[in-house]
Amino acid sequence: MSARLHDPAHTARSSTARTSALLLDRLRERPPLVQCITNTVVTNFTANALLATGAAPAMVDIVGEAGAFARVANALLVNLGTPNPEQRDATREAVSAARDAGTPWVLDPVAIGALPLRTALAHELVAFGPAVIRGNASEIMALAGVGAGGRGVDAADGVEAAAGAAALLAERFGSVVAVSGPVDLVTDGVRTARLANGDALLTRVTGGGCALGAVIAAFVAAGDDVFDSTVAANLVYTVAAELAAEDASGPGSFAPRFLDALAAVDAVALVERARVTGSVDDLVDATAGARA
């Protein structure tokens, strides 16, 4: 027991969990209005994930309204999953207004690298300084201009392979970068956190990653430090996935349980389950400790 109390990895873990729990409380007390410009596959799941967490979603994604709304929303998500021409222009309008009004926004560059239009759009948008960039390893590498994008990156070790690209993006655009994978990585170029929570079922529900982008936006609106907020969103989201997976019979029953868990997750669950450290080595140690 005393060994664990003096274990720096353990201390970091509980400190992160407690900060995250505070931010979750704040989000639920004053539900942030989160504007989403996102792909047609995941609009419903994304809105439900925001509602379950405690935020207020608004899918305002047309030219002539997206900019005006970005000025009053508490945060904005831009997800490039199905970027038709109207949405591309609405995205430009929204991101420009968000920058002017100081509305923090999250860029999720879905499937860039191989697909030309969204790749060009992502490079154009990122120059507007998103508070957070969230993607999987190959998307982060493609946005940073390293790696081929979507090819040759094994999901199992991809996140660490993208650590350099994440740091580069963080420095270049002043953004916090979140790389999703079996172990999530969050960095602002100076601080780095690794989160090993989650469950594979989350990858078998469409929108599992996309909705996380929206939840990150909600936490950024609720907090003062973008790095802490991004870590908190990742932790809340992946701990909820663990809770949901416990009694799910497959991907179909997992999804409603996950929304229930997002609504129910609390400080106790976060502190008990958090597997967060600054480095992969710490994480391996911490995990060993948790198992011992």
Q: Is 33 in the site for its own copies (CB under 8 A)?
A: no
Segment 92-96 long-range contacts (CB within 8 Å, at least 24 positions apart): 92/124, 92/125, 93/63, 93/64, 93/66, 93/67, 94/35, 94/37, 94/61, 94/66, 94/67, 94/69, 94/70, 95/70, 95/125, 95/128, 95/130, 96/67, 96/128
Site for its own copies in 178-207 (CB under 8 A): 204-207
Nearer to its own copies, 61 or 108 (CB): 61
Identified binder of its own copies from the candidate list 129, 251, 278, 289, rule CB under 8 A: 251
Site string for its own copies, 142-181 (x = CB under 8 A): ----------------------------------------
Pick between residue 20 and residue 48 the one whose CB is nearest to its own copies.
48
- For its own copies, the binding residue among 12, 18, 22, 51 (CB under 8 A) is 51
Measure the CA–CA gap between 231 and 186, rounded to whole angstroms.
7
Min CB(67)–its own copies separation in Å: 11
3-state secondary structure of 36: strand
Of 4, 14, 28, 82, the one binding its own copies by CB under 8 A? 82
Residue 121 or residue 144: which is nearer to its own copies going by CB? Answer: 121
Q: Report the residue from 60, 212, 215, 283 that binds its own copies according to the rule CB under 8 A.
A: 60
In the range 219-238, which residues lie near its own copies by CB under 8 A?
none
Is position 92 an interface residue for its own copies (rule: CB under 8 A)?
Answer: no
From the CB of 69, what's the least distance to its own copies, in Å?
A: 7
CA 18, chain centre distance (Å):
18
Distance CA 208, CA 108 (A): 13
Residue 116 makes contact with its own copies by CB under 8 A: yes
249 touches its own copies by CB under 8 A: yes
Chain CA centroid to CA 261, Å:
17
- Pairing between strand 33-37 and 75-79? parallel
SS3 214: helix
Q: Does 115 bind its own copies (CB under 8 A)?
A: yes
Q: Which range of residues in 7-15, 41-49, 125-133, 226-234 is near its own copies by CB under 8 A?
A: 41-49
In this structure, are residues 244 and 205 in contact, taking their beta carbons and an 8 Å threshold? no
In the chain, the amino acid numbered 177 is V
Q: Are strands 184-187 and 176-180 parallel, antiparallel or unpaired?
A: antiparallel
Out of 12, 58, 146, 280, name the contact with its own copies by CB under 8 A.
Answer: 58
Q: Which stretch binds its own copies (CB under 8 A): 168-176, 225-233, 248-256, 277-285?
A: 248-256
Burial class (CB in 10 A: 0-12, 13-18, 19+), 285: middle
Name the minimum Å distance from CB 90 to its own copies. 9
- Nearest CB to its own copies, comparing residues 219 and 258: 258
